[in-house]
Amino acid sequence: MNGKMECLFWQLIYFFIKQRYRIVQLSHRVNEIWLESLENRRVPLVRIVRDDIDWGQQLKRDMEYAWRVVGQLPRRKIGKADQVVNIYISTYPPVDDWEFLIAKPLPLPQRRNGAFRTLLIHSGNIEHSLQQLTDTIKTPIVLSPISDDSDPFFEAERLKHRIFQEVREQQERERRLFEYGKPVFTYIFIALQVALFLLMEWSGGSTNPEVLIRYGAKFNPLIWEGEWWRFFTPIFLHIGFLHLLMNTFALYYLGMMVERLYGSWRFFCIYMIAGFFGTLGSFLFTSSLSAGASGAIFGLFGALLYFGTVYRHLFFQTIGTNIISLIIINLLFGIVVPGIDNAGHIGGLIGGFLAAGIVHLPNHAAWKRQARSLFVTVSIAALGLLIGFRL
């Protein structure tokens, strides 16, 4: 085993981790590592193998194996990738012909114009190969320095330990993302909507149109007369016990998740803005009397989708597939079943996504992105109100 090449193997892995790649798979011998990018969509996947390859046929078989693995990955892992990079680090090149095997990239299985590119780095072409890698990923390769008088095997072990320490720290940071806040406003909103429901029942019934209008349900004629608060008060009113029960359960489960993720004041902003957008959507597209937390609850779905744009890999590894499925099912349910205010649901979904963009995630400063979200939110709200009051 060559200490210099062993060290180069871990240097490259450490470089990619610093470029916001994360280790997604290890072989049992820890000589084959797959890395997934959190940001680089051109090269979302890199495979690095440390193995002394003696024959071209050995190289060909392993390339075919890696190419098949990429073909079996979920499409979201590849996305709109230009290429996947497959890197071999070998002390010496194969003794027979091998250059033709990597001269041209293989077509990427899930992308018509994508490429599966292979590089073989050996002791005689390190500088040239690293330049090729630089050209491929469009980022200069800067490796952690190793002193000339140090033992390369010791340095390789030190780097390996450092890499796995950083991986553990990253996993801990990701775990803490879901435990940032405590569900304060979730309980307050649940208590408020239950209390208002009981009050409406005592006043004449939550299904009584006169009672609903008196307590602030969405009623277009009164909004046109200037009762602007009706864009917010319907969030906490419900029509019948089943309506209250379904929305309370939805708010409990989604609210707990979103408030832990964003923190209490961000959650409050998301919920209220989403509720406003839900009422605005209903105001624009339906003339019927309406109330309910559904628009705001769909806004919580929107906030989770926004989280997926910031932590795409973590979103799909945890809640992503379930959240997207629930959104689709609920929207289809609203289309099929009469009497459901789908305009309010879609409005809330959009509002929640935009509101999450305004407040962003805790400890994540992204002022330009937040400013864009604020501009788009205000523009859509202003346009919606302009259209609604001119109808």
The residues assigned a catalytic role are 294, 345
Contacts of 270 (CB under 8 A, 6+ apart): 258, 262, 299, 300, 303, 352, 355, 356, 359
Contacts of 327 (CB under 8 A, 6+ apart): 298, 301, 305, 349
Helix runs in 19-151, H state only: 56-72, 75-78, 99-103, 126-137
Contact residues for 85 (Cβ-Cβ < 8 A; gap 6+): 43, 45, 46, 47, 117, 118, 119, 133, 136, 137
- Residue written as token pair 């859509």: 380
Tell which residue, 295, 299, 306, 305, has the closest CA to residue 360. Answer: 306
d(CA 187, CA 316): 28
CA 271, distance to chain mean position in Å, is 20
Angstrom distance (rounded) from CA 130 to CA 85: 13
- Angle of the 241-262 helix axis to the 264-285 helix axis, nearest 10: 140
Helix (H) or strand (E) segment spanning residue 246 = helix 241-262
Half-sphere exposure for 64 (CA within 13 Å, toward CB): 6
H/E stretch holding 255: helix 241-262
**Amino acid at the residue 160:** K
Helix (H, G, I), strand (E, B) or coil at 247: helix
| Contact present, 92 and 6 (Cβ < 8 Å) | no
